Structures are given as C-alpha cells and as structure tokens.
Amino acid sequence: MKSTVIFEEGNHKWIIFGRDPNKKDKIIDTNQHLVMAGGEAILLDPGGIELFAPMLAAVVHHVPLESIKTLFASHQDPDIISSLGLWDQVLEKATLHAPWLWEGFIRHFGCDQITYNPIPDEGGEIKIGGRALQFVPAHYLHASGNFSVYDPAAKILMSGDVGAALIPDDAPMFVENFEDHIAYMEGFHQRWMPSNRAKNLWVERVRKLDVEMISPQHGAIFRGDNVPRFLDWLEDLEVAAWLTS
C-alpha cells in the first residue's frame, strides 16, 4: 500500500494510505489517513476488512502500534470501518470516535475492547498529542450521520466521501487538473449525495474554515486554488440526481 506524507511540521504529520496494488479489482480504492502529533496517532476512516493487513503493515512503518489510541469513522460504511473487529483485537485501550447515530450499527463489526465515543450531531473536538482536531458536521453527505475532520494547525480537512472521485489506479495523489478531475467525481456526487441543502450547508461551513487541503476518502486531494474551486463546483452541482432523472 502506498503511503504519502501530505503535511509535516515538527512531530505533527499527516500521512495518507491508499492505491494498494494488491487490492482486489471489485473493491473500491480508499484513502486512509494517519495523523501523528506529540507521540500520539489517530487513524481516520481506517478502512475495510479486506485491506486490514496491508494497512496495518503500512501504519507500522510510521508509528508503533502502541501509539494508536484513537480511531475515527466518518460514517458506518464497510469501506470506512469494517476492519474495526480486527483493530479491536490488535489495539489496546483505544477509542473510536464516530457518529452517535451509527453506534448500534458500527458495533456489528466487532467492538469489544475499543471504547466507542459517540460524536453528537453538532460535532466536537479532540486532542491528539496536544493538537486539536475538529469534527465538522457533514450529515447526509452521504450518510445521515456523517462528519469531516478539520485540523486547524495543518489546515487540512479530511472530507470523507465529499470530494470523492473514482479515479484510475495510477492517478496522482493530488488533483492536477481540476477540469479533467470533474469527470471522475461528478457522477459519484450526483448519485451518492442525497441532499442539495445538506451539501450547501457543508460548503458554507467549510468556507468559514482556513483550509489549504481537502483530502477525501476516495480519489485525489485538492490543495491550493483547487480548494475554493472544488467548493464552488460542489455548490453549483445538483445532487440526488436519480430523483430528477
């Protein structure tokens, strides 16, 4: 599994894992995020059960297993968190932060040792090695209980399925040509996102943040000018397309 450091400042680091060359063909490619700070680490959307072993191997290249005390799941989908039952066994005294709405569902993946911390609808904040991470509501994008994660120091927003794109296996980690990239993400957003109102509220919320990178759970990362470009594009896009087709 490929790992890319997308931010590094002292011991504060963001690493993205994905583009696993051994991934089975019919499994959607996913980006897993590791945030390290002050000797602690959090895994954001740690991924599906199918890629647990390569993911675990990739993670221990960067941090000892013992330093992972925190997990985050933006929502309940299997590509986000079906590996939970395995993390539950290999991690000691870890906490999973995930939407309160999905607790009864996510626990079906296996959550005996890990403490489930339900995130309230309005979001919240946690500290990793003294660094704040904010849970930004992204409800109905696409799950009815859904959060993005914002790091104000790194100015990175891990946006979950917002900004996701179904790209070729060898595509670069960062969006290079926004206009070309639209073809990979338009259909995804039109079909998977169920609410124009929810989408526009999220855009409004994100515009108030100081964001230099938007890193989705599928596809490529938006940085620099592509961040406002993406927000404008998303605002103008009509979603829930099946209803009007």
Partner 1 sequence: MTALSLTLGIHMARKVDLEKNKFHLLAVSVAADLSDVKAEGEAISLEAMNAKVLVARAGTMALGFRPLTDFMVELADDTIRLVNEIEFEALAVSLQAVERLRTLNAVNQAQRALVLAEGAPVKHIGGLNVFVKKALDLDNARVEQLLDHAVHLTSLLEEISEQMIAACAVASSARIEAAAIEPRYSASFNSVSTNLQRCAEAVLKKVKASHSLLSQALNMTGNYQ
Interaction site with partner 1 (CB under 8 A): 52-54, 56-58, 60-66, 85-86, 89-90, 110
Instruction: Name the residue nearer to partner 1 (CB basis): 89 or 115.
Output: 89
Helix, strand, or coil here: 2? strand
Instruction: Name the residue nearer to partner 1 (CB basis): 63 or 171.
Output: 63
Nearest to 80 by CA among 146, 136, 15: 146
Helix, strand, or coil here: 146? coil
Instruction: Name the residue nearer to partner 1 (CB basis): 28 or 53.
Output: 53
> To the nearest whole angstrom, how small is the minimum distance from the Cβ of residue 91 to partner 1?
9
219: tokens are 């596809």
Instruction: Name the residue nearer to partner 1 (CB basis): 107 or 191.
Output: 107
| Cβ atoms 109, 85 nearer than 8 A | yes
| Cβ atoms 29, 164 nearer than 8 A | no
> To the nearest whole angstrom, how small is the minimum distance from the Cβ of residue 95 to partner 1?
17
Helix, strand, or coil here: 195? coil
Give the ranges where the chain is alpha helix by DSSP (H): 52-60, 78-81, 84-90, 103-106, 178-192, 196-207, 226-236, 241-244
| Cβ atoms 74, 161 nearer than 8 A | yes
> To the nearest whole angstrom, how small is the minimum distance from the Cβ of residue 129 to partner 1?
17
> To the nearest whole angstrom, how small is the minimum distance from the Cβ of residue 49 to partner 1?
9
Instruction: Name the residue nearer to partner 1 (CB basis): 17 or 230.
Output: 17
> To the nearest whole angstrom, how small is the minimum distance from the Cβ of residue 11 to partner 1?
15
